[in-house]
Structures are given as structure tokens and as C-alpha cells.
Structure 1
């Protein structure tokens, strides 16, 4: 019997990928981990207290003076490139679980207006552009537009006022858009606004045009309804389904419970970090084999809020939770894998995700010492590595290769 626990610290990057500046040149300086450590040392008058992350080898992949460069724990550590376009939580988790995102692209709605218009018209809808802008008004009630709250071109939205159309109608339009959209997500959004949605349309970054959803009042007026329609993926060839078919109990915690597919999984949605950690510990304490995938979302929220001190406090809270997990994962074959899904540098000067490498820190009770792994090319390799730890064939995933330790051993 063995347990594999994947803890995703949402938005925890360890330095910019080579293409990080393609959209925003300043992002070549992104370093979520390093900048949070620096700013928190200044703000708190002390280094962040991250003894467990240090012992798991974080300092081996991020040479920051506040992190130990060596560890005697039985770990394998490395960095992972994202392996999907942009920097997005949904795409990151789907890729990590073994999805093939090679057909998903970053695209503005303007580049596909004719195709989307044709699909909606064929479905019986009335479609027209809004005042010559590259977004569509459907049935006089729903705007189809670029999502302005994520990186440009990652997601499209279908947004409507619920006093003008019910959510089922918004969702039907979103599903039609999804059928031709090349992007990772099409998001159906319904809410209540004080005036017509066209009053809240604005230009975004990277040539996008869309609805300023926070300005509409959707988030503060109550009654918000949202459904995320992901790209067409073979969920049967992702890690949770692979484990479930092998009879391994699967628990999805935090945001992972909201965005990962597995009919047999136990779901424990939560945002509060303490609650996420408590659910994770409960799942590990259960008898028998287990796959647990947990997402710590509050780190990402702190990044969006550009609140470095809050981010640091969340990291310290996570570190304490990891100590408790390590005390439970002591058997041969057990694995604790700590990683991220993208970066979210709170010091970079904007509220978007940053395209960074993420750490992969793997605790292996039966191993001797610490080993350094080569940089992996995709988060899918994390899923493949977890599959192998569970005795599953990584070839059963749609994407990913097991990460193997390099010959170099760290003392």
C-alpha cells in the first residue's frame, strides 16, 4: 500500500521561463519565490520560516540566501516548465494530470470572429458585433468577448445579465462558442448589473477587448452564476481516472476539486488554506492506498492582489501543513510531491499570472539522500511521475514522461 499526495501551491513560480516576456517584456524579471522571500524579509524583519520547504530541497532549485542549499531528507528535486500556452490554473492542472494541451492555443476572439459568428448563427442565434468592436452581441442579451481577468487570449467569456436572460440561455451560447474555440476555457457568466453591459466594455492587454466584469457589479450584487467549459480533453487518460480504475481511492481538495474530472473522486472544495490542509491530512490518514491532489489557492489570490506579505504568510502556513503531511507519509512507496501550476509574482506590477518555471519537490521515504532532477519540459511529467509512484503505467496518460533523478547527488 502506498499514498501519493500532490500539493499544488497555486501561483508558486521559481523564475521566468525563456518566453515569459513575449506578452509583457517586464515579465522576464518574474520570480515569485525570490521576490516574496526578499520583500517579506524587509517587511517582517526576518526571513520567512519555511523549514520544511527548505528540507524538501527548494533551495536546490532556487538559490536564494534564505533557503538552505543542501538537505539530508530523501528527496528528488527539480524545476518544471509549464508545458502549455500562457499561465493558467485550469490548463496547469489539466496538464499536470496528463492532458495533452498541444491543440490548445492562446487566441484573441478578434482572430476567430467569423468562425464563432457562423457557429452561433447555425445554432439559430442572432449575432452582431458591438459598435464595430471585436466582440459579439448574441440574441441582444449576451456578450461574447475576451476574458480580461486572465492573461490575454487564455479564455473567452459569454456574459449576460440575469434579468435579461436566464443562465441556461447564457450557458447554451457558451457551449456553442466552446465547440469552435481554440482556447483553454470558455466561461459562461451570469449576474446582476445596474446598467447595460456595453457600458462596461473596455480594451485589455495584448489587443483584447472584453467586459470589465468586476465593474459590472456581478461580483458584489449577488446571484452570480458561473460555469467553466474546458477544452475537449480525454479525462480517461488523466491521473485521477487512471488511479480510480486501478482501485486507488482519489481525493481532490481545494480548487482541484472544482476543475479536475474524476467521477469516482471524493471532492473537498475549499479556499481557506487551513481547511485545504485539514482535508488533505484527513485523506492521508485513511487506511489503504490513496491519490490526493490538493490546491492551495490563497497564494494565487495574494499574487493577484499584489500582496507580498499575505503571500509570505500563506507560504508559512503551507510549510507547517507540509510538516504534518511528512509525519504521515513514512512508508516505502509513499510520495509527497510539492509543485506549482504557474507563477504569480506579486511584485511584478500587474495582477496577472507570470509564466515561470515551478518547483517539483518529491519526498521518497525509502531513498537515500537528495537527488537533483533535470529540468522537465511539462507539468505532465509531474503526473507521469506520480503515476509511476502509484505503480501505474505512465503510458496510460495522454501526455507526460516520468522524471528521473540525475546522477548528481546532493549531500
Structure 2
């Protein structure tokens, strides 16, 4: 066993999957990596400086002319399909850690509104459609609705004004969200409470794909203080995911960035962070601390740049990540160490909308002590990343709920 570090560049895709256009036909042209590189040539007057991503083999899975086609590092290089419905950070990370998402579906609230109404009624709530629309007003104060900030049918929300209803406690927003979670087939039900600028009903609008929900940014929730949010994920057997398996085997586990917020492992050391500099610092510190272990780090700001459709910011962040990877490559030099760089979905900032894009993601594995370069076949699921990490940690990948190790990776 040695150090195994998984760095997830959030929203970093390398080209559309075949089903990327099922919701938006234009997404078949999605290519986060290629379009960010193209933009840099125009906006910066130079190629992006990504020597380490190049040395890790990015140019072997993406044909962009600004990426090197050769590497001197001992690497295994390929790409992975997502292996879960839609394109979502929560589902991506859970799948990557070995979860089985086969029972999670993409669904509008409208498709299950009677079932949700019955569950809320049985729990003692009053649930009624708001002006006949396919969303629910619960107890006159909490809206249960489609999440309009993700792709249609990925997540549902339970939203309320905390000056009208408590976030926690009996009858609160979170309790209502938990009742919805018990019958929801989607990846996440999100409880949201905050101070709005007016009645929530005034901010209801239609979304894509026949969804209807709350325009949460317009409410003022994000601008005003006091925002409370809790994500309720689909029921998963976390004991069959990589962090819990590693911890049970006595392997130290460190979760950094968004990974610290969305992955389950009671024994893990957690460093939540959003700024890329902080994520890289915590990751490097975890490796420098010595001792063999598992580190899973999420670089979130690339995803935020994609949502903001800010191609220039995305490019600058990639250069910042590349510099951090240089330090990690220098530290992880013992045979058996592994640095695995990947993504959880795409988020092409040039695509014309602010949603994630369903793209393949790179799988770049630095393997000190190995020989040469291995080109990996396309993986059907991100779960193969977790299975490969399990092998490097001396764990049995068959104990995960999903995933198959890459050969010799």
C-alpha cells in the first residue's frame, strides 16, 4: 500500500457522450477541454500552459493541437463514460467511489406528484398543487419543486422562507424534504431555507423539459444572509464505497473540497474548501503529512466557471490546477503511489447554457515504478476509477458496489 490521490477537476469533460443530445441536441458538440483551449488561443494570444496535464497524458485522450502527444512519465491514460443518469456532481462522485446508481432515475416531479402528495399527507402535512401547476405548496409555506439549476429531472427541492417556517425540527423544511426523499427516485432532494425578497410563489417559473420550479437565485436566498441547505442523496450502501472500505482497513482517508461535503466516511479527515488554492494546499498537506493513505480532492471552481460561462476563468483555473499537480507528481514518487486525475461530468462554458454537459472525462493515472505508457480502453463508468484505486490500496475491488479495475493501472 502507498499513497493514492484522486483529483477530480469538477466539470472537466473531453467530448460529448453519444447520448449527450437527448435533452439538448446542441450538447452533442460539447467539448469542455477543447473549447477552453480554443478560447485561450484567442483571448490570451497563447496556448494554455498545461505541462503537467500534458505529461500525464491528456493529449493522448484529446486530439487538441495544443496538447502534447508524448509523455516521459509512467502513466496509464484513458477516458470514462459517466455511468450514471444525467450529469451531476453528487452522482458523479458517488459513482466514482463505487456506488451503484442503477436504481436512480431522471424524473420530473410531475411524473411522481401523486406519490409525493400521498407521502406528505400520510406524514401529517397539507400538500396542494400551487395554482394547478405540477409542484406542491406544503403547509402553506414550503414549496416542493423541480430544481431548475441542474438538468431537468436530476434533483428536486423543498424550499421555504425561514422567517415563516423553521429549517429543522418537526414540520420544518428539512423534515418535509426527508419525507419527499423517502419516495423520490432522483439522485438528490435538496432542502433550502433562506430569506427571500418576496413570497416564493412569485418566483415560480417553467424550466427545461417540462419542469416547473423556484427560480432560487431570483428569490434573494443567495444574496441574503442566513441561507441553510442540506442535500439528501439517494439511499446508497456507503459501506461498499471506497472511503469507508479504506477506513475499515485502517487506511487514513482525507476528503478535500466538495468531496468533503458529499462523500460519506465517518473516520475521514475533512477539509471543505471552494477556492482552488485552498483545495490544492490541503491536498498537498495531506500527502506531506506522511503515511500511506487515500486522498480524494475536488476542484470546484472549474465547475463554477462553466456555470458562469466564463471560458477565460476556466482556462486560468486549469493553469492553476496544473501547477498544483506538478507539486503532487514530485511528492508521489514511491513505487506503488498513484495520482489519478479525472472529472465527474462536463461543463462546457461555450455551449450556450449554464447546465452541465454529458461528456466523457479523462482518466490520467501517474504510476511511479511502472514501465512506460499504457493506453486504457474506454471505461463504461466512473466506478472503474474507484475500483482501480481500491487495487492500489490493497483492497478487494469486488467489495465495491460497482466498478472494474483498469488492467494493470
Q: TM-score, normalised by structure 1?
A: 0.98
Preserved contact between residue 374 and residue 405 of structure 1 (Cα < 8 Å) = no
Question: What residue number does 1:178 align with?
Answer: 181
Match of 1:235 among 216, 235, 238: 238
Counterpart CA distance in 1 for 2:50 and 2:335 is 25
Question: What residue number does 2:214 align with?
Answer: 211
| CA deviation string 1:12-64 (max 9, x = no partner) | 00000000000000000000000000001110000000000000000000011
Counterpart CA distance in 2 for 1:28 and 1:403 is 27
Counterpart CA distance in 2 for 1:211 and 1:224 is 15
Counterpart CA distance in 2 for 1:54 and 1:257 is 28
Question: What residue number does 1:133 align with?
Answer: 133
* 1:132-281 to 2 correspondences below 5 Å: 132-168=132-168, 169-281=172-284
| CA deviation string 1:289-345 (max 9, x = no partner) | 110000000000000000000000000000000000001101111000000000000
- State the superposition RMSD in angstroms: 0.8
* 1:98-113 to 2 correspondences below 5 Å: 98-113=98-113
Counterpart CA distance in 2 for 1:3 and 1:226 is 33
> Which ranges in structure 1 are unaligned for 5 or more consecutive residues?
407-411
Match of 1:372 among 366, 372, 375: 375
Q: Which segment drifts farther, 186-195 or 26-35?
A: 186-195
Preserved contact between residue 59 and residue 69 of structure 1 (Cα < 8 Å) = yes
Preserved contact between residue 380 and residue 399 of structure 1 (Cα < 8 Å) = yes
Counterpart CA distance in 1 for 2:278 and 2:272 is 9
Counterpart CA distance in 1 for 2:216 and 2:3 is 41
Counterpart CA distance in 2 for 1:227 and 1:150 is 16
Counterpart CA distance in 2 for 1:278 and 1:194 is 38
Counterpart CA distance in 2 for 1:374 and 1:195 is 53
Matched, 1:53 2:53: yes
User: What displacement does 1:194 show?
Assistant: 2.1
Counterpart CA distance in 1 for 2:391 and 2:88 is 26
* 1:281-296 to 2 correspondences below 5 Å: 281-296=284-299
Q: TM-score, normalised by structure 2?
A: 0.99
Question: What residue number does 2:39 align with?
Answer: 39
Q: Secondary structure at the match of 1:160?
A: strand
Counterpart CA distance in 2 for 1:103 and 1:192 is 35
Question: What residue number does 1:80 align with?
Answer: 80
Aligned length: 406
Matched, 1:388 2:391: yes
Counterpart CA distance in 1 for 2:79 and 2:40 is 23
| CA deviation string 1:111-142 (max 9, x = no partner) | 00010000000000001000010000000010
Question: What residue number does 2:332 align with?
Answer: 329
| CA deviation string 1:166-195 (max 9, x = no partner) | 001000000000000000000000011121
Q: Secondary structure at the match of 1:226?
A: strand
Preserved contact between residue 372 and residue 405 of structure 1 (Cα < 8 Å) = no
User: What displacement does 1:288 show?
Assistant: 1.4
Q: Secondary structure at the match of 1:133?
A: coil
Matched, 1:319 2:322: yes
Q: Secondary structure at the match of 1:16?
A: coil
User: What displacement does 1:287 show?
Assistant: 1.9
Q: Secondary structure at the match of 2:160?
A: strand
Preserved contact between residue 9 and residue 340 of structure 1 (Cα < 8 Å) = yes
Question: What residue number does 1:94 align with?
Answer: 94
User: What displacement does 1:368 show?
Assistant: 1.2
Counterpart CA distance in 1 for 2:370 and 2:26 is 41
User: What displacement does 1:72 show?
Assistant: 2.1
Counterpart CA distance in 2 for 1:5 and 1:288 is 13
Q: Secondary structure at the match of 2:356?
A: coil
Q: Secondary structure at the match of 1:134?
A: coil
User: What displacement does 1:405 show?
Assistant: 5.6
Q: Secondary structure at the match of 2:134?
A: strand
Question: What residue number does 1:409 align with?
Answer: none
